[in-house]
Amino acid sequence: MNDTVVMKTRMNFSRPRSFRSAPALVFALLFTLVGPTGGLIHAQAEAGPALNPPAGMSDAEFQRVYKDGANLQTIFRAIYAGVRPSVVRVMAEVSVPTGQEVPPALLKDPFFRRFFPQQPRGSRKSVSFGTGFIINSSGLIVTNRHVVGDARTVKVHLHDGTVLDGQVRGGDELTDVALVQVQSPKPLQAARLGNSDNIQVGDIAIAVGNPFGLDGTFTTGVISGLHRAGLDESGLKFIQTDASINQGNSGGPLLNLNGEVIGINRMIYSPSGGSIGIGFAIPVTAVQPVIKQIAETGIFERPLLGVKIDAVQDARGNRGAMIVEVVGGSAAHSAGLVPGDVIIAIDSKNIKGPDDLSRQIQRKRVGDAVELDVVRKGRKFSVKTKLKSLQ
């Protein structure tokens, strides 16, 4: 399954052309490892790095900096050991449309039909693979909706080589989140979920997954951007990272330095199809209501206020979401809201604009009561209403 915005990826593994230089290489290695007296030279002294400090840095300062780097290495090792049992490979057999769309006018042209016969439309079976992570010991796994497609059963490969049959619990196509349930004879180790609302640009980011089928791949980078919008129709604000993400990473965890999941790896931007350091992850906090509801009911009902909104700011710099249109029969309609009203807060939380209002609504559930602070022609008032389903 392609995880990229721009298609194709090609990966070549090549062998050395010749091994004629092997004896010289062995000699060079022996010369490096054996000292003048014939004893083995240690690669690194126990007291510190076998390196000289950069210009302008004292040896003591360099020792301290080097020690801090070694501590980070220890942290990385601990994160990998802690999260690796929670990361799985998900393989699904999905249907892929075949054939090609041809304009009807061209089909009437005998010349076109002779040289460009239309392929019969239908579908073929294809194996999609991606990554997932376990969120509870009973075997509930989060992955991307596009990884499992419309499959009902999948194969789940654990870190120790165990292969389990998985049942797709449900998914939400808009946010691209799906849950898979497996039954294991032994308890499974769950990943810890963090708070993606607290991350900042420059924070260390770690991706663990199965790019190109290379299980358990661990890549590091930083959070290189936040609130990336317009990448799909979900309305989500994506996390951007330069931690390497490639085909097969989809659905895997993006972690912070505490080893907590802060994002679900979703896609990359690449002219070539391979990672160029621009990857995007779904903020885990933003889709926790989706995950929770699918786990409970197998479906996700999207809450709807029922308004089309636009950004607005008054002379004092106060921001809000101005209603452009109210959908008949919606929660907003029931509350008596009309075009021109400006929503400035929801449940006593100030609204910075349309995106902020949408994000707050999506964290609710259908049937939840909300209180809206509204300004109409300079007059402020509050209304209460219950959110309805998008369907």
Catalytic-role residue among 3, 176, 356, 373: 176
Q: Are 43 and 29 in contact (CB under 8 A)?
A: no
Q: How far apart are CA 120 and CA 97, in angstroms?
A: 10
Per DSSP, the three-state class of 257 is coil
The tokens of 198 are what?
């607290």
CA distance 141 to 120: 37
Reply yes or no on whether 250 is catalytic: yes
Residue 347 CB neighbour total at 10 angstroms: 13
Which tokens belong to 239?
Answer: 């996390």
CB 292 within 8 A of CB 374: no
227 catalytically annotated: no
**Which member of 3, 146, 172, 270 is catalytic?**
146
Burial letters for 81-119: b for 16+ Cβ neighbours within 10 Å, e otherwise? Answer: eebeebbbbbbbebeeeeeeeeeeeeeeeeeeeeeeeee
**Residue whose tokens read 């998914």:** 171
Q: Which of 234, 250, 275, 330 is flagged as catalytic?
A: 250
176 catalytically annotated? yes
Strand stretches in the chain, DSSP E: 87-98, 122-136, 140-144, 153-157, 163-172, 177-182, 204-209, 217-228, 238-241, 253-255, 261-268, 279-283, 303-304, 307-313, 319-326, 342-346, 349-350, 369-376, 379-386, 388-389
Strand, helix or coil at 279?
Answer: strand
Amino acid at position 139, single letter: G
**Annotated catalytic sites, by residue?**
146, 176, 250
